[in-house]
Each structure stands twice: as structure tokens, then as C-alpha cells.
Structure 1
């Protein structure tokens, strides 16, 4: 009997996503950490932190949760302790990834809209504190997920598998925690990003009109505004990252709200439209951990240059090695002739 179509898609989708996500995010970390992309140290610190967390999301979600279980050789990963840890890491890294997007959006909002706070808040030190705080709070908030699961079976005193505890659906405490977690990740961040982007757009429109009036562009004159050009680059990067997050998470957010209101606890079959929507929303959510590097490559010229140099480096290294080998293999007689010729030229 053939597995359902959804399962067939997942068996291909998640391994491919893991195979792409790991090198893409790792490459972004290396390139951004070099600090040669023309971005401020504050922005670079946020982007490196986001890339590191996205790499962890790829490892814990597409790889550990979906790809590894397809292969029986990794049996130890099915132990209850390891299974619990992987669930905890998945929820923690996902929560941190979402809130780092909020933190980056807020940082850019302050930089663009709050001139009085810009010099104090938009610094490398503040970015470091924010990254550490968000990461710590995200891990603390996700700790209960580790204790949610119990062994599926016990063989020779060894616990295997994970399944939600029976009282999860009926316990008021677990229900309250589940609602709180889904509000914190991603409903509240989703709304905050929309709000901050709306306020940023409003401020940009007002500021642009004022600056055009002061520089005489309203009278048909054409003047280049360096400040607006730099701000435009920052805005493009901000809207690309936050817009990608909104587009890839909107299905997940809307479906979770619908599932909570409709009190959906199970599906009748694998062809149930609600089940298909649920799985599709999760696949889109997982994809959000691999899109930022593509955004950098599209919006940042210097990032593209650094990426090209990184891709060319292995070939340059091979050419240098080949030339080194060919030089070392030169016949002794040729070396004597070359040395004698050099001596004669000097005389």
C-alpha cells in the first residue's frame, strides 16, 4: 500500500530542506562574521545571531525530527531522553528565531524612526545583550516541552519513543501553557512585526515628503540624498526579512487560531483538508529558516561579492596547488639553467 501523498512529499521536502539549509546558513554566518558586507556592526551582530539560530532550527526540525527517523541506523535518537531533548531544542530554537526577527525589526524601527534613541540603542553592545536575553528567555519558556512527553514503550528498562502525556489535552495547566506558548510563538511576534513595519512605513513617507520639500525636489530639481540612499538600503533589508517571515508564517498562525477556535484535536484521515493545511503550514514555517541568506544575496551587493569570492576560493586553491606541484616537479637541469640565466642578467 502506497503511503499518503502528504507523507511522500514530506519524505522528499525535509531532507532537501536540511541539505540546503545547513550550508546556506553556515555560509551566511562565515560571510557576515567577516564584517565586509558594508553593514554596521549592530546589524551584522543581529544577522549573525539570526543565521546561527536558523542553522539550529534546520538541524532540529528538518533533520532530527523528519529526516533522521527515515533511517533505522540512528536508533539511539529514538530513545526517550534524546527524543525529549530534540523536541525541547526544536521549540526553543524556533521561539528564539521568531523573537530575534522581532528584535531586529525593533532595532531598525529605532534606527529609522527614533533619532534620540538611535545612538544609545543601536549599538553592538546592545545587540549582544538583546541576543543573549532573547536566547535565554526562549530556552526557559520552552523547558516544559521536555517534560510533556513520556516513553512510548519500555524494553529491558530502556525507554523508547515519545508521546504526549495523557493529561495534556485535559489538564488546565497544560492547556494554559499551550495557549501561552502559541501566543508567544508566533502570534504576538507576528502582530508586533506588522505594527512596527506599519509605523516605520508611516514615518518614512512623512520624512521623505519633508526632505523632498527642503531639497527642492518638489519643484522638479533632481538632487541625490545620501542619507535617504543609505536609509533605503536598510529599509529594503528590513522589509525583506520581516516580509518573508510574515508570508511564510501567516498560514501557520491563521490555522492555529482556527484549530483553537474549532477545538480540533484529531484528523479523520490523511486526506483531511485540515490535516493537509496543517502540514503545509509547518513546511512553510520550516522554510523560513533558509530564506534569509537568499534575501542577503538579493538585497546586498557586497554580500553577493563575498559569496562569489567564497564560491571561487576552492577553485583558486586547486589552481594554486596544481601550480605548486608543477613547480616542484621541474627538472634539476631546468633549475640550473634558470639560475645561471638569472645570474648572467644581474651581471
Structure 2
């Protein structure tokens, strides 16, 4: 079975899609899985052993571009795909497999995609409360899995594979110490500070971890560099923290996160990457809810002080932080992090 996956365009969603690929390989170890996704996804797809090929999607998110989609689909007609699985719910995302004349085209109904998909599923959101369950269900015939209860348990979580030499190379490139344990911070989040734990809390936690002989490494995109600098500026031991936000490629960030003893993160794509790397993870939630897209890891500890989903783009205080995240104190995060590390600070030693 050679399958084309039309992949998601967001880091977190791309990470959760790996659960589908792992299940497909469990069902059929000979399955050949190729994923079409934005070019930046290659850094993640290359670390998913189940994916045989990453095909760059040249069209931007939200771009309809009917003519280009037709040409892309036509170019795939001789690739002998037996099935396509379309993960995004948009109408346009189903066009390329249709134009490629792939015999079986599977996906949730989404934006009324009758005809484009011929193995179309009607989603009962209550039956599949988690996004990862909705992805995995597409690996099975529609009449076999009617709810999440029908999925084999435990669910196969995403599991990125980082080669040892790549991790070592990344540490050398950024001059990170070999012997000092690294704790990663991911202080960024989409849509501004309302989903971010305050920079001053990160700074306080950083100093507490430095006292346990750790070095702090801040990860993120270029737009997170400012918050990283703000964290360092408020630390008592700023020399024990390095801000790599905006300085790494995504692949380098993945390799370095794999080197960390633990990660503290807001609700973000990097949180899902840390979970897939099996790092002890404290995930901090405020207005956004972990009920739909939680970190998929047995080593993740979620801290959230409120319930429900709150569509908030700006928080309560002058900096835009949400009160529910302000109320999560560094001492609580430190306590949960130490618990993840077996409640023994001596475990903060380099391997």
C-alpha cells in the first residue's frame, strides 16, 4: 500500500499526525508513506522513521491556487499511490489527490468535500474528542472505528528519532556544555502573550534551576527572541542562560531539545516536539485548553488552574498576560519538574 498523506501546516498538528503513520505501519509494516507538507516540515518528517518521503507543498497556507493544485496533482499521477489521506479539513486540501487520480481518497467531510473524497467520514466530535484520535481513525475502514473506544490502546504517541551524532553536532555548534545538564524553556506561543507564562516567572524558575547546577536554554522562533531576552534580563544568574530563539533552524532546535534533561513550555508547537522526543515536560496552559491537543507523552505534566476554553487574544495585565497563567507560580512549576525528575535534584546530571 503506497499512501500519500496531505499533511497539516502547523507544528503541533504535524507532530500529532505521526501517530497515524505509526498506526499505519503497525497495520501493514510494508506500507509506504509519503507526506506532502510545507517545506519547513521536512525537519520533522525526516525524524519520523515511518515516512519514506517528504514532498514539499509549494503553496502557502490559505492559498487556493486552483491551476497550481491541478498541475501538482497531475505530476503525481504516475507515482502509483493506492490511497490518499487528507488531514486538513479544507476543500482545497482535497484537490491534489483528486487531480492525481488516486483511487481511494480518505478524510473527514470537512468543507463539504463530496466527490473530492470517495472514502469520506462524518465526524462525531464527541466520539473522537482528541485530534490525534481523529487522525488515527483514518487508518482504519470507516465501519471498523466508530468512536475513540474502538481504537487500539494504548494510543501510539508521536516519537521523533534524533541520531546521537546530530545531537552532539548541535551542541558543539552552539557551544553548549557537555557536562552541565540543560533545561529547555519554550516561552513563545501563537497569538501573543495571552497564552504565555510571564517572562518574570520564567526568570524566577531559571534561577531556581541554576541553583540545581542546570544551564537554561531558550528555544523559539525569531519573534520569541524578545521574550527570551526579557527572561535573561530578570535573572540573578543571567550568565547561566542562553537565548537561542531565532538563532536555530527547526532541525537544530529539535536536536538540541533532545539533549535537554527536561522542558518547560507554553502551549506551542515546541511543546509537542518535546513530548515526541520523550523529554520530561511541564506544559503550562491558560486560556487555551489541553482537552483537544494535549502533549502526547507519559512524561508530560500539565499545569492549568482554570477549566473550559477561553478565546482570549490579550490577557488582563499591562503586558497582556492572562491572569490564569500569572497565577501559576514558579515554585509550583519547580516542584512538578523535580517530581518528573524523580524528586531528586541530583538527577540533573549530564549523561
When the two structures are superposed, what TM-score results if normalisation uses the length of structure 1?
0.21
> Which has the larger helix fraction?
1
More strand by percentage = 2
TM-score, scaled relative to structure 2 = 0.21
Q: Which has the higher contact order (CA 8 A, sep 6+)?
A: 1
